[in-house]
């Protein structure tokens, strides 16, 4: 679970300090989306055959829980929309919102690869002062 934040800290954080977050995100966005492009193969290996919000979210959850070790709850679920709130993140005190934005681009790439009719947003982030991180996966 330590790899993603440590890799971020060692590589992207110094660039963010030098160039600014928006510049770094603009440069790295295609690569971050590319990381998520393997989601269809991952969903197939997991036995997930659907392409709706519930199926897509079912691919995102294990990454969050097993790799990043975050905890949360789904607050809304339907085939067109899934909302999840992260209530505990082991990285919230060590990493700023930049890491959350990087992760958001990876998740956007996953969603785009699985079904381009859906979008992924993160309107709330603990490092930005919100009480929870919230992500919304919904039909465009």
- Domain residue extents for the chain: 3-139
Report CA dihedral (35, 41, 44, 49) to the nearest 10 degrees. 70
Which class for 27: exposed (0-12), middle (13-18), buried (19 or more C-beta within 10 A)? exposed
Comparing CA positions, the residue from 132, 4, 139 lying closest to residue 68 is 4
- Band the pLDDT of 53: cuts 50, 70, 90: very high
User: What pLDDT, on a 0 to 100 scale, did the predictor assign at position 51?
Assistant: 93
Q: Please write the tens of the pLDDT for every residue from 8-46.
A: 666 777 887 888 878 877 887 778 777 778 888 878 888
Specify the pTM: 0.78
Q: Give helix 97-114 / helix 53-62 axis angle, nearest 10°.
A: 130
**Alpha-carbon gap, residue 45 to 25, rounded angstroms:** 30
In this structure, which topology does domain 3-139 adopt according to CATH?
A: Muramoyl-pentapeptide Carboxypeptidase; domain 2 (3.30.1380)
């Amino acid at each position: 679970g330590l790899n993603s934040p440590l890799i971020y800290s060692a590589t992207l954080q110094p660039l963010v300090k030098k160039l600014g977050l928006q510049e770094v995100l603009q440069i790295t966005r295609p690569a971050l989306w590319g990381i998520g492009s393997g989601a269809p193969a991952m969903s197939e290996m997991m036995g997930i055959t659907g392409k709706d919000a519930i199926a897509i979210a079912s691919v995102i959850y294990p990454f969050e829980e097993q790799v990043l070790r975050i905890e949360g709850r789904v607050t809304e679920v339907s085939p067109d929309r899934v909302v999840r709130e992260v209530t505990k993140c082991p990285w919230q005190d060590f990493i700023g919102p930049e890491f959350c934005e990087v992760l958001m681009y990876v998740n956007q790439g996953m969603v785009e690869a699985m079904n381009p009719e859906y979008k992924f947003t993160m309107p709330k982030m603990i490092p930005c002062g919100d009480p929870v991180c919230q992500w919304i996966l919904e039909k465009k």
